[in-house]
Amino acid sequence: MSELRISSIETRGVPGKKRYAMVIDLRRCIGCDACMTACKAEFDVPLGVFRTWVPYKVIGKYPTVRKMFLPRLCNHCDDPPCVRACPVDATYKVDDGGFVLQRYDRCIGCKACMASCPYNARFMLPKHRTYTDITRVVDKCTFCHHRVTQNLVPACVQTCVGRSRIFGDLNDRTSEVSYLVSTLPTQVLRPEEGTKPHVFYIGADRGHTEIGRKIYDPQSVVELERETYLNKHS
Amino acid sequence: MGDWNVFHLMPWSGAYAIYFFLIGISAAMFFFSALSWYRDEFVEVRRSAGYISFVLLAIGGVLLIEDLSQPMRFLNMINPAYLHFTSPLAWGSLCLVSFGLVSVAYLYTLQKGQDAGLGRKLAVFGALLGLGLPIYTGFDLTVHQNRPVWNTPLMPVLFVALSLLSAAAVAVFIAKGEKLRAMLRGIMLWSGGVVAAMLISLLGTTAYGGSASELTFMFMTSGSLGFIFVGLGIVLGTVVPIGVLLTSAGRQQGGMMLAGALLLVGGLALRYSILIGGQIVQTYF
């Protein structure tokens, strides 16, 4: 696998180094949002912003329709563009483990990291927070670095009722994530960006996970229903 | 129907476009002032161009710092222990500060009016640092691999050309000599032509890029940015003034001022639409 390494920052297959990753099995996700809630509770994530979020899309045609959930979070890329973009080294990658973390005391709030992230995983913390005094700097998912270093799994993984989220070390061939990634077809988001994400999806359809043409002219539900009605009754 | 997603904000607001606009004019105005040491036509604007450059630099600097969510931490950008040179912003901050310092020294020398040798050296040094400003702002956008329109090697060159174009448009309003006006007309025509050629290339690469690029092209031409990008930026702000400059009226002061005003509108509109255009599609992901 070493031939796939382009940047020296990458930890793919490096002996003795951990490379944490998350596998999200979309066949098991029921959209209960418990992961979002656990994350909010763990980090006092303010209203309006998310470290992890679960968007959905209604796919299929009536009567065979279903909701497709796509849990999202920072992809802790092996070659993260946000680390390159930060002018003051406030964003950095942990050598052993591959966590992409933020130094809050150093962040100037230029938002270059937000501009460089293909996954919209970063957000600006508001001026006022209830329990935490870290404000007006960029924040993101940390893969629960503080928990993982204590041999715990991230809060979202711990709470996932369907065991849709699985976490572990990809460089450890005996780990469950290694097994899943090596035995099942997995997808990553926006692979064309070359970021080498560490969040793998099972059962994701690129036709639904990518930016669709309809964003150019998003029709409201009311308009769509009116159109359907007119088509049906004309 | 029935899609739900978190609402994502654009990281860089329109204020950045104003900053790009001001800093670009500032750099090229300094260049015109520096040119006066080598070309007699520019001598009449040596002082005024230098002062305009400095005032615009100061306003641009305030805008840039004010846009940071932690404005007082702008000092981190010039802290050698923190600087991270893989980011164009780090190079830009050094360039900006050095350019500001050289500008102050240059204006002081001009004010004293005694040491022509030092003034000439500072002018050349400042002009080179000034060239770094539009280049760094262009790279600031280019390096984001996931952004349509931005992620092209054209950006730094386009920003240099836009910088010259906008500054020549400003200089037209303070130029009195016939020879200088003819020179500025030439600069506007040449840099305007280069900008137009690059815009055609930019539209081509955007329209034939991936799905995000194609959608961005749609937003910028027939979508929400269509009026600003095509209407104000390309037609009214580039094609029309070039046309005016090519007519006999374009050789007169009135015609050149009209073209200059339109080029300024176009310069701001182009910077704004390129900045915002690269961010629209991403907000839906």
- The phi, psi pair for A134, rounded to 5°, reads -85, 110
Residues of A in contact with B215 (CB under 8 A): 211, 213, 215-216
Instruction: Tell if the CB–CB gap between B73 and A107 is shorter than 8 Å.
Output: yes
Of the candidates A84, A114, A216, the beta carbon closest to that of B218 is on A216
Q: How far apart are CA B128 and CA B31, in angstroms?
A: 8
- Separation between Cα atoms, residue B17 and residue A194, nearest integer Å: 28
Q: Which of A22-26, A62-66, A109-113, B88-92 has the weakest average pLDDT? A: A62-66
Query: How many residue pairs bridge chain A and chain B with CB atoms within 8 Å of each other?
Result: 129
Residue that wins the pLDDT comparison between A198 and A48: A198
3-state secondary structure at position B28: helix
- The token pair at B73 is 């931490």
Taking only the tens place, the pLDDT of each residue in B62-77 is 999 999 999 999 999 9
- Element containing residue A174 per DSSP (H, E): none
Instruction: Tell me the pTM.
Output: 0.93
- Across chain A, what does the average pLDDT equal? 90
Measured between beta carbons, the chain B residues lying within 8 angstroms of A190 are: 146
Q: Please report how the helices B88-112 and B116-142 are oriented relative to each other, as an axis angle in degrees rounded to 10.
A: 160
Chain B CB contacts of A84 under 8 Å are 86-87, 143
Q: Count of H helices and E strands in chain A? A: 8, 12
When pLDDT is cut at 50, 70 and 90, the band that residue A221 belongs to is low
ipTM confidence: 0.93
Min Cα separation A199/chain B (Å): 16
Residues of chain A with C-beta less than 8 angstroms from the C-beta of B146: 81, 116-118, 190, 193
How far apart are the C-alpha atoms of A137 and A118, rounded to whole Å?
19
Q: Is the peptide bond before A154 cis (omega within 30 degrees of 0)?
A: no
**Is the CB of residue A21 less than 8 Å from the CB of residue A200?**
yes
Q: Are strands A64-69 and A56-61 parallel, antiparallel or unpaired?
A: antiparallel
Average pLDDT over residues B249-278: 97
Most A CBs within 10 A among B6, B7, B149, B217, hence the mutation to make, goes to B6
Whether residue B90 and residue A87 make contact (CB cut-off 8 A), yes or no, is: yes
Contact (CB, 8 A) for A91 and A111? no
